[in-house]
Structure 1
Amino acid sequence: MTALLAVEGLHSGYGHVEVLRGIDLQVQPGEIVALLGSNGAGKSTFNNTVSGIVPARRGRILFDGHAIAGTHYRAIVQAGLIQVPEGRRIFPNLSVLENLELGSFTRARERRGPNLERVFGIFPRLRERTRQLAGTLSGGEQQMLAIGRGLMAEPRLLILDEPSLGLSPLLVEELFGLIGRLHGEGLAILLVEQNVGQSLEIAQRAYVMENGLVEFSGTPSELLASDRLRKAYLGL
């Protein structure tokens, strides 16, 4: 099976600072892959490089077999690789509906109506708040909005960057239930998280990143079976 996302020897960074130092990673169609690591490990830089926001310096990024390193981020979105960034990045002075509609600005605009209904089916609270300014939503509702906006683009691969950050334990449970539901519908997900336990419960494979390098790749059971890895990189 051809990987939906294949990253080979990826180097990236900012100015004179090299953050990623040769990353190899794959996501298969319909698979949840967990990308784990502490703050500063390079996870968000990886996401932004794959998404075309930060330029790759060396290496290959293939999406559905097509090279996308150096491609404009808008073309990457059009191909179906969608990122829900850390911190939600909603537009606080726009309404919930306007935020959602912006999700389909580049991709799936002609199916905006049906996709809105799908998002409202997943997040009924957003339907109740369509005219409300996004900045007045609770933290959990803002995360719903950010994910809903990503779904409006009909992603083939959804990158979720720290989606549980700042959420209450109850909302974290709801979030991971949603991720499992989207996976059940066949959506491929790259889950970038510090919530190690719940990420490993739903992922088929996992990568552990440290200092811009992949220190482990394999199944969650293989990762949890290694005392060294659990203690050194996961704090378990």
Structure 2
Amino acid sequence: MKALLEIKGLQAGYGAVEVLRGVDLVVGEGEAVALLGSNGAGKSTLNNVMCGIFRPWSGRVRFGGADLTGAHYREVVKAGLIQVPEGRRIFPDLSVLENLELGAFTRGRARRSANLERAFELFPRLRERSRQLAGTLSGGEQQMLAIGRGLMAEPRLLILDEPSLGLSPLLVEELFALIRSLRDGGLAVLLVEQNVAQSLDVVDRAYVMENGAIRFSGLPSELLGSDELRRAYLGV
């Protein structure tokens, strides 16, 4: 499988505190990959470095064959590397429609109408609430909006950072069904999650981070099939 995202030897931190310690990670074209690990493992820092929000100390980020190491986040978005951040980060005082349209501000503007219709097909509740202020939506609806906004940018790779956080069990089931559908449709997905069992059910490969380093990479069956790995890295 052709590599879409390639991260090699990535080191980064805050001030003098090292957070990422030589991270290597690959996501192939059309592949769904899980990045698992507990709070404080370095997952969000890795996301922010990949997406141009923080600059790395050393190492390389390549996407679609281009070097994006330390690139401005606008250039990252233009390349098609789109993150749906933890906490949704919607604009609460704008309508659902305005939030979605902002997703196409940098990328996907030419096909905004078609992409908007696709978002409404995926999330019919957003169509029903298109004129409603985003801040008045339920938590599950806000997560739908955040994902829909990300899809408006026509991602080549969609990073979902803790998308199931705070959702009811029923909405979590719906969310993971959507992720499986996106993968089956050929979209590359990097799923950053603490929900281990359901994440491993919808991805092709998995990485486990611990203390800023990758401790495991391989098939979900390999991770779940090893009692030692489950106990050491997943606490299950």
Q: What TM bracket, shorter-length normalisation?
A: over 0.9
1:120 aligns with 2:128: no
Unaligned runs of 5+ in 2: none
Aligned to 2:53: 53
CA distance in 1, matches of 2:116, 2:13: 36
Q: Deviations over 1:42-95 (max 9, x none)?
A: 000000100000111100111011110111110110010000000000000110
Aligned to 1:149: 149
CA distance in 2, matches of 1:31, 1:110: 26
CA RMSD of aligned residues (A): 0.7
CA distance in 2, matches of 1:60, 1:2: 18
Q: 1:14: Cα distance to partner? A: 1.2
TM-score, with structure 1 as normaliser:
0.99
Aligned to 2:87: 87
CA distance in 2, matches of 1:119, 1:3: 27
Aligned to 1:29: 29
On the 8 A contact 1:11/1:18 being kept in 2, the answer is: yes
CA distance in 1, matches of 2:182, 2:61: 24
Q: Which amino acid aligns with 1:151?
A: L
Aligned to 2:216: 216
On the 8 A contact 1:2/1:65 being kept in 2, the answer is: no
Aligned to 2:200: 200
1:161 aligns with 2:161: yes
Q: 1:196: Cα distance to partner? A: 0.1
On the 8 A contact 1:101/1:152 being kept in 2, the answer is: yes
Q: Secondary structure at the match of 1:92?
A: coil
Task: Kindly report which structure 2 residues correspond to 1:66-105, keeping only aligned pairs within 5 A, or say none.
Answer: 66-105=66-105
On the 8 A contact 2:160/2:190 being kept in 1, the answer is: yes
Q: Which amino acid aligns with 1:52?
A: G
CA distance in 1, matches of 2:147, 2:17: 31
Q: 1:200: Cα distance to partner? A: 0.5
TM-score, with structure 2 as normaliser:
0.99
Aligned to 1:139: 139
CA distance in 2, matches of 1:12, 1:188: 25
Query: Which structure 1 residue ranges, 4+ long, deviate > 3 Å from structure 2?
Result: none
Q: Which amino acid aligns with 1:125?
A: R
CA distance in 2, matches of 1:123, 1:2: 31
Q: Which amino acid aligns with 1:140?
A: G
Q: Which amino acid aligns with 1:68?
A: L
CA distance in 2, matches of 1:221, 1:199: 12
Aligned to 2:187: 187
Q: Which amino acid aligns with 2:224?
A: L
Q: Deviations over 1:179-201 (max 9, x none)?
A: 01111110000000000000001
Unaligned runs of 5+ in 1: none
Q: 1:174: Cα distance to partner? A: 0.2
CA distance in 1, matches of 2:19, 2:36: 16
Q: Which amino acid aligns with 1:185?
A: G
Q: 1:2: Cα distance to partner? A: 3.0
Task: Kindly report which structure 2 residues correspond to 1:165-180, keeping only aligned pairs within 5 A, or say none.
Answer: 165-180=165-180
Equivalenced residue count is 236
CA distance in 1, matches of 2:170, 2:14: 37
Q: Which amino acid aligns with 1:139?
A: G
Q: Secondary structure at the match of 1:100?
A: helix
On the 8 A contact 1:30/1:186 being kept in 2, the answer is: yes
